[in-house]
Amino acid sequence: MLYDAASCLHRVHLDLRGDPSARDEISAFVEMLWSEGAAHEVAILAQVPADTVDLRAAPTADRRELTRQAMSAGAPLILGGELSSEGMLARPDVLRRDGGAYVPGDVKAGSATDGRGRPKAAYANQVALSADLLIRSGRLDARRGFIWDRNGTEVDYDLDLPQGTRSPATPWDVYRKTLHEVVGVLEERVATRPAAQAACKLCRWRSHCHAELVRSDDPTLVAQLGRSARDALAAKVRTVTDLATLDLSSVVRPGGRTVFPGVGAARLARFRDRARLLCEAGAHAYARQPLPIARAANELFLDIEVDPFGDRTYLHGILSRSRLADGEDERFTAHLMAGDGLDEERRAFADAWAQLTADPNAVVYYWSPYERTMYRALQARHPDVCTAEQVEAFFARPRTIDLLNDVVAPMTDWPLHDYSIKTIAKHLGFRWRDAEPSGAASIEWYRRWLQTGETNVRDRIVDYNEDDCIATRVVLDALLELPVRQAEAASW
């Protein structure tokens, strides 16, 4: 529950009290995540010393007592233990003796830290619960634990370490707050609501919640208006319609501040405008300002596919479009790994890098910062392909454009609930050849192709990626034609 609550408290509520028949089918990708996670755990825990107490196969009813006995006997390592106190229950993968204490740890098939190097909130909540129960029973002296991550590397979690310069909150503070909320949901004291967010993508309540959001005209249906902004607006804005009809002059204060904490005037105006687009039948997208893009003689549209388990970038798809004297030439190149090894990853990366950098005047488009992040990781794994400085210089070029974050999100408004490439390109009439296109599904196909060698699965991976690249080109072409809305005089 604490794991799920880190991303969505409403999910805890639905898992407890929702109608199970309203859940979506489990996707092949989620099944793959589960089986990969279980296999990873088995592989990591197979490497423990011989004197380890392994309770993973013990009857569930006996585990708590067996764990207590093992700790009392001073076992150096306990696997599959169970801790319980005051109505709380934790099952840490690992308990390791450290002097007179036991430190809890979990095995994860993902990275132990988020993009900023901080403990992942969901993992930290789990470790903190185990630490809490150990501290309560006098078996641990400090708020700490660890994760054995996807590489088998141990990452310490100091649960008392503040997580940001702007916020003094520690993982322990977050855990205590989340625990309080979860208990509130259990005791039916805390009411929860769905919110459109990234976590919905892989959640089995997705269809159920979306229907509820539409029925209630929830403000998170406005693109990029998340749960915290909804909470901040709640005093005056309960629905998309409220937002669309909001009189900004009544809520904006001098200096661009508003009566809504944390939501400035410019951001509020954008939300209001997007809400209007959603409320208006037949509304069309527009640019909020002239867009800094233009057709170029050579354009490259880049999209990569990454297997987070194998830590491999297995496909770099590049669609090139060139102006010729008698028209245009458009062609797609798939730099696909044909095996799972590092050598193959290096080859595909080197080939893609050569194509991307061959023409220094080509304009390169990609969608979201993911490509840059992954190219940094690729460079670190394969430093003979290019230097870190070259990767930074490539993505810093004004001709290398993150179409979503450099243009679409800050400068345009669409009559859509989200600004994913899928949603925008489909709105523009583009159709993927695959009936169920998604990056998550592609990872599952890639895994299957490596195991079976089936040509049709390989084609599916490549076709899907090519369509992503074409979709990026379709969006670019639409942006070039987008009308620029007349600047509205600020009424505050």
Residues making contact with ligand SF4 (CB under 6 A): 8, 10-11, 14, 194-195, 197, 199-200, 203, 205-206, 209
Q: How far is the CB of 220 from ligand SF4 (least distance, A)?
A: 9
* 204/382 with CB nearer ligand SF4: 204
131, 143 in Cβ contact below 8 A? yes
Q: Which of 360, 335, 296 is nearest to 465 (CA)?
A: 335
CA separation for the pair 284, 169 (Å, rounded): 43
**Cβ atoms of 300 and 320 closer than 8 Å:** yes
Give the CA count within 13 Å in the CB-facing half-sphere of 248. Answer: 20
Give least dist CB 216 to ligand SF4, A: 12
Sign (positive or negative) of CA dihedral 251, 252, 253, 258: positive
Q: How far is the CB of 14 from ligand SF4 (least distance, A)?
A: 5
Q: Shortest distance, CB of residue 349 to ligand SF4, whole angstroms? A: 34
Q: Closest approach of Cβ 197 to ligand SF4, in Å?
A: 6
Of residues 33 and 131, the one with the C-beta less far from ligand SF4: 33
Task: Give the residue among 103, 104, 112, 95 at the shortest CA–CA distance from 155.
Answer: 112
Which CB, 14 or 134, lies closer to ligand SF4? 14
Nearer to ligand SF4, 155 or 196 (CB): 196
Q: How far apart are CA 76 and CA 101, in angstroms?
A: 10
Question: What is the amino acid identity at position 7?
Answer: S
Nearest-approach distance from CB 147 to ligand SF4, in angstroms: 23
CA dihedral 323, 324, 326, 330 (to 10 degrees): -60
Between 94 and 209, name the residue whose CB sits nearer to ligand SF4: 209
Nearer to ligand SF4, 193 or 399 (CB): 193
Q: What is the DSSP string of 165-193?
A: SS----HHHHHHHHHHHHHHHHTT-S---
Q: Rounded to the nearest whole angstrom, what is the least distance from the CB of residue 205 to ligand SF4 in the complex?
A: 4
| Residue with smaller CB distance to ligand SF4, 203 or 287 | 203
